[in-house]
Structure 1
């Protein structure tokens, strides 16, 4: 009987520790911050790498989440709907741009607040936007930009170099 009590106590302790780890992971992940915030929309020409659940950050800190994406049929721009932390008040001249965590990092929406005094209301729209940049097309353009443009030719205003006359030893 004594062994069963010890095993039960150890099992209960393991379950409590596992529950503690779960609560810690949930609270530090920011999984619960998206609900209860206010909604903002922004239109981008390119949202490559942005999906539902993508982080919205201000100064590198997560302040919201992308909750949906749709296509505006009038101008063929991607409309991104975001939920923002209710404690954060953004102005109407805030800029939203899609950027990445590095060369191979995931994309996120970066917010840069402006200096206006007019605040964006729930359901408002961020009009200053910059879409995702395709890093691979930039790299290929930089690698092959000089090809065929005469980059190896000398400048036209330089005089051709002629060899110095040879002198005969006497």
Structure 2
């Protein structure tokens, strides 16, 4: 009888591990589109308030990447946001980045406003043209008095 209990426990433990592995593979697959290459960039912000790992990177309202990490640079005491962009997107080097959401009910995203430069940002670049995210109160005020333009 003791042997059957151990075998049952081993089978159950194996099933739990298999389920965990399946979930991890599913979670990883939902973070990137199949067959889509991406390249890494980072940006420096005074504040990355409300931005989390896994957040969308949006350009013209279209998801073009994903935030990989949000950390604090101890030397400058600024937030460093690392993100990945779809490889077919060539971002001008004078592009501006901000943190915000298109509606009051959606999650914050890293929003890209493309620049006019003909030179594209190289993979691995630390971008410094950033705008501090506005508070929820400022977003509501912009929405009420600014005709609904939350991204402004």
Same fold (TM over 0.5): yes
Larger Rg: 1
Show structure 1 runs of 4+ deviating over 4 A: 137-140
Q: Return the alpha-carbon distance in structure 2 between the equivalents of residues 101 and 139 of structure 1.
A: 12
- State the partner residue of 1:32: 32
Tell me the C-alpha RMSD between the 2 structures: 2.5
CA contact (8 A) 2:101 2:107 kept: yes
TM-score, length-scaled by structure 1? 0.59
SS in 2 for 1:63: strand
> What is the CA-CA distance between 1:76 and the residue it aligns to?
1.0
**2:47–2:133 contact (8 Å) kept in structure 1:** yes
Tell me if structure 1 keeps the 8 A contact 2:31–2:54: no
Aligned counterpart, 2:81? 80
Distance between the aligned counterparts of 2:64 and 2:140, measured in 1? 31
Can you give the 5+ residue segments of structure 2 that lack an aligned partner in the other structure? 1-25, 142-152
Q: TM-score, normalised by structure 2?
A: 0.66
CA contact (8 A) 1:33 1:85 kept: no
